[in-house]
Chains A and B, each alone.
Chain A
Amino acid sequence: MRYIMHRLVLYIPIILLVTVLVFLLMRVIPGDPALLILAGTSGEGSFNKEDLVNLRRTLGTDRPLYVQYGTWVWGLLHGELGTSLFYRTPIKKEMGPRLPATLELACLAMLVSVVLAVPLGALSAVKQDSLLDYGARMFTFAGISIPIFVTGLVVVYLLVRLFNWFPPLGYATLWEEPWTNLQQVTFPTLTLAFFELNFTARVTRSAMLEVLREDYIRTARSKGLVERRVILLHALKNAALPIITVSAWSLARLLGGTIIIEKIFLVPGMGTLLLDAITARDYTLIQAIVLFYAVVVLTANLVVDVLYTWLDPRIRYA
């Protein structure tokens, strides 16, 4: 319990630091947002001094930085993400419809990659130095060297050229139109999962190799347990700990991957929204999306920490 409290206490200042970092990044580097809006992206818009002062007042950028930061965080605490500079709509309205696609992609890809990678890594470790092990190691090593945009492009290109399949436009949620949804997410999910499973399989393999050398495995074998029982119940259960530890990083990597996959497969998710926001120089929107990703990753880390205490009593009582 104390461990969980400790984690929770650490979580809050880091979220605050993240907001400071995002705020500074978006306010200090780009310069005056009001000037940017009036001048347009090409810098040709005409305006007078009065417009500039007025716009600064509406945007609130005429106030000192700490007041702006305070207002922003106060809004965040009340669930207000602010207004998009470009669309002039509440950011919540922009992000809301994009959220399900990205989360679905990331979660499904995580699921598929774990389902494929854990048996692969475990088999590779159990049959160490066999042909299967070498094959699996070569496959995963090559896999981590192929960037995700390469895999994605090759998959789409082959689908388009060979099967005349095009990435469907728009997005239907799983609960509204399950069939359309599956058609939309299958290939992006598989591509993402292929990317991630190499990392998971490698972690699984090295975790299993370590566990298989432990005394309790020898004990389990010497008391005459069937090998399958030893592997599944004794070894894999213990090897799960390091796999779960890295799963928060997996999620971070997958979320980064969704940006590229969404662009390639034309999925209207958070990633494409972020890319559009960057093109439109919509700083408030970029700020909100970047913060969103960081909060998701930090929360995943927290969940993993809590899960860990539940799975490993040594930490709970330490």
Chain B
Amino acid sequence: MLRAKNGVALSLPEARPGVGRRLPLLTALTTFARKQPLGVLGGIILLSLVALVLLAPLLSPFDPYAVHVLHKYAAPGTVLAETGQRFWLGADQLGRDTLSRLLYGARVSLVVSLISVGIGVTLGALLGIVSAYCGGTVDLLVQRLVDTVMAFPAIILALAIVAVAGASLRNVILALIVLLLPASARVVRAQALAVKEMDYVLAARATGADAWRIVLRHMVPNCAAPYIVFATANLGYAVVVEAALSFLGVGTPPDVPSWGGMLSITGQKYVEVSPWLVVFPSIAVSLAVFGFNLLGDAIRDALDPRLKGAQE
């Protein structure tokens, strides 16, 4: 209970004890959890993925690059005679441990997804806001450029970029940024156009605020909702594109463990390949995308009331 300087107890309007003292973020999170239980499931999947990525060096029974010539296509549970270590999920065509490669592969998926969405969607959102704010010729030019990039089927543009720039993790991220940036610009621009006409923007202009201040202090915060929705909706998409590029052999270099890369061997040899080499990476990538999509959907429902009617 708070006390004023003279020692008299102040009676604060606290209807339910304890509620007011909670952190606002925590309150927001609990509200979200109550209304979007599936979103929480998505969040749990995502957090477990982060935990696995961080703990990969501790959890992996093997070095993901270590080749065991005698244990090519080893069945799950096979024991390595010299050390007594177990290939819990079997081994691939070079005798590399599937579990260790899955754990380290999660790192590629997560890092590519977070970085490309972080950079691509943020730059796109800023471009969209500036485009809406400037209007006129700038807006027209930006929108035609957006149309141009969006004319390409996503995976084909990504393939072309990685093909000319070279197969590497950096270039996969670059390709994803090129894919995400225009789409994000388009989505956020729509909101920015509405925000631009709001009275508070007019009021800011009347008080003599310059363009920078209006864009950064008034428009950016009010375009946060579509930005967050678009960003979370595309985390899973980025995982899929990275895995698809690696599967096609133009993403991450073949020796680097990645989910798509692990599946690419099954795309070449159907007969020799043992079922678990198809099953485990497939489950990993689908489960991760599923988790991201659940979270993305829940955040969209929570932040975008217009869509709620159509979805529920």
- Mark A residues whose CB is within 8 Å of B: 13-14, 17-18, 21-22, 25-26, 29-30, 141-142, 144-150, 153-154, 156-157, 160-161, 166, 206, 209-210, 252-253, 255-257, 259-260, 263-264, 274-275, 278, 281, 283, 286, 290, 293-294, 297-298, 301
Main secondary structure of the interface of A (DSSP, over half): helix
Tell whether, in the assembled complex, residue A17 and residue B144 are in contact, meaning their CB atoms are under 8 Å apart.
yes
Supply 7 further A-B pairs (C-beta < 8 A) apart from A259-B159, A275-B248, A297-B151.
A26-B160, A252-B153, A263-B267, A275-B159, A283-B164, A286-B163, A290-B157
Tell whether, in the assembled complex, residue A142 and residue B290 are in contact, meaning their CB atoms are under 8 Å apart.
yes
Provide the residues of chain A in CB contact with B147, threshold 8 Å.
14, 17
Tell whether, in the assembled complex, residue A154 and residue B290 are in contact, meaning their CB atoms are under 8 Å apart.
no
B234 is an interface residue with CB less than 8 A from chain A: no
Provide the residues of chain A in CB contact with B285, threshold 8 Å.
147, 150
- The smallest beta-carbon distance between B293 and chain A, in angstroms, is 5
Provide the residues of chain A in CB contact with B223, threshold 8 Å.
none
Tell whether, in the assembled complex, residue A297 and residue B286 are in contact, meaning their CB atoms are under 8 Å apart.
no
Which residues of B from 133 to 166 have beta carbons under 8 Å from A? 144-145, 147-149, 151-157, 159-161, 163-165
Tell whether, in the assembled complex, residue B270 and residue A146 are in contact, meaning their CB atoms are under 8 Å apart.
no
Provide the residues of chain B in CB contact with A149, threshold 8 Å.
243-244, 247, 260, 263, 267
- The smallest beta-carbon distance between A75 and chain B, in angstroms, is 20
Tell whether, in the assembled complex, residue B270 and residue A157 are in contact, meaning their CB atoms are under 8 Å apart.
yes
Residue of A nearest to B239 (CB): A147
B215 is an interface residue with CB less than 8 A from chain A: no
Provide the residues of chain B in CB contact with A153, threshold 8 Å.
263, 266-267, 278, 282
B253 is an interface residue with CB less than 8 A from chain A: no
B310 is an interface residue with CB less than 8 A from chain A: yes
Tell whether, in the assembled complex, residue B267 and residue A294 are in contact, meaning their CB atoms are under 8 Å apart.
no
User: Interface readout for B246-259 with A: 1 if CB under 8 Å, 0 if not?
Assistant: 01111000000000
B271 is an interface residue with CB less than 8 A from chain A: yes
B231 is an interface residue with CB less than 8 A from chain A: no
Provide the residues of chain B in CB contact with A21, threshold 8 Å.
148-149
How many interface residues does chain B have, given as a range? 35 or more
B289 is an interface residue with CB less than 8 A from chain A: yes
A286–B240 CA distance with the chains assembled, in angstroms: 23
Provide the residues of chain A in CB contact with B163, threshold 8 Å.
278, 281, 286
Beyond A150-B286, A210-B310, is A294–B144 a contact (Cβ under 8 Å)? no
The one of A17, A260, A283 in contact with B155, judged by C-beta atoms closer than 8 angstroms, is: A260
A259–B263 CA distance with the chains assembled, in angstroms: 16
B57 is an interface residue with CB less than 8 A from chain A: no
Some 13 contacts from A to B, beta carbons below 8 A apart, are: A17-B147, A21-B148, A145-B289, A146-B286, A206-B310, A252-B152, A253-B153, A257-B155, A259-B248, A260-B244, A275-B248, A278-B163, A294-B151
Which 10 pairs from chain A and chain B are nearest by CB? A256-B155, A145-B290, A256-B153, A278-B163, A17-B148, A160-B270, A206-B310, A29-B164, A150-B282, A252-B153
Provide the residues of chain B in CB contact with A255, threshold 8 Å.
153, 156
A283–B163 CA distance with the chains assembled, in angstroms: 9
A21–B260 CA distance with the chains assembled, in angstroms: 28
A221–B152 CA distance with the chains assembled, in angstroms: 44
A26–B293 CA distance with the chains assembled, in angstroms: 34
B275 is an interface residue with CB less than 8 A from chain A: yes
Provide the residues of chain B in CB contact with A297, threshold 8 Å.
151-153
User: Interface readout for B215-252 with A: 1 if CB under 8 Å, 0 if not?
Assistant: 00000000000000000000010001001100111100
Beyond A153-B278, A260-B248, A263-B248, is A160–B271 a contact (Cβ under 8 Å)? yes
Tell whether, in the assembled complex, residue B152 and residue A294 are in contact, meaning their CB atoms are under 8 Å apart.
yes
A30–B164 CA distance with the chains assembled, in angstroms: 5
Provide the residues of chain A in CB contact with B151, threshold 8 Å.
14, 18, 294, 297-298, 301
- The smallest beta-carbon distance between B283 and chain A, in angstroms, is 9
- The smallest beta-carbon distance between B239 and chain A, in angstroms, is 8
Residue of B nearest to A271 (CB): B156
Provide the residues of chain A in CB contact with B270, threshold 8 Å.
156-157, 160-161, 166
B311 is an interface residue with CB less than 8 A from chain A: yes
Residue among B273, B282, B309 facing the most chain A CB atoms (10 A cut-off) = B282
Beyond A29-B164, A274-B156, is A141–B293 a contact (Cβ under 8 Å)? yes
The one of A17, A147, A274 in contact with B286, judged by C-beta atoms closer than 8 angstroms, is: A147
A179–B246 CA distance with the chains assembled, in angstroms: 35
A21–B278 CA distance with the chains assembled, in angstroms: 37
Provide the residues of chain B in CB contact with A253, threshold 8 Å.
153-154
Tell whether, in the assembled complex, residue A157 and residue B278 are in contact, meaning their CB atoms are under 8 Å apart.
yes
Provide the residues of chain A in CB contact with B164, threshold 8 Å.
25-26, 29-30, 283, 286
- The smallest beta-carbon distance between B96 and chain A, in angstroms, is 19
Which residues of B from 274 to 312 have beta carbons under 8 Å from A? 275, 278, 282, 285-286, 289-290, 293-294, 297, 309-311
Tell whether, in the assembled complex, residue B159 and residue A18 are in contact, meaning their CB atoms are under 8 Å apart.
no
Tell whether, in the assembled complex, residue A17 and residue B145 are in contact, meaning their CB atoms are under 8 Å apart.
yes
- The smallest beta-carbon distance between B65 and chain A, in angstroms, is 24
A67–B285 CA distance with the chains assembled, in angstroms: 46
Which residues of B from 68 to 115 have beta carbons under 8 Å from A? none
Tell whether, in the assembled complex, residue A13 and residue B144 are in contact, meaning their CB atoms are under 8 Å apart.
yes
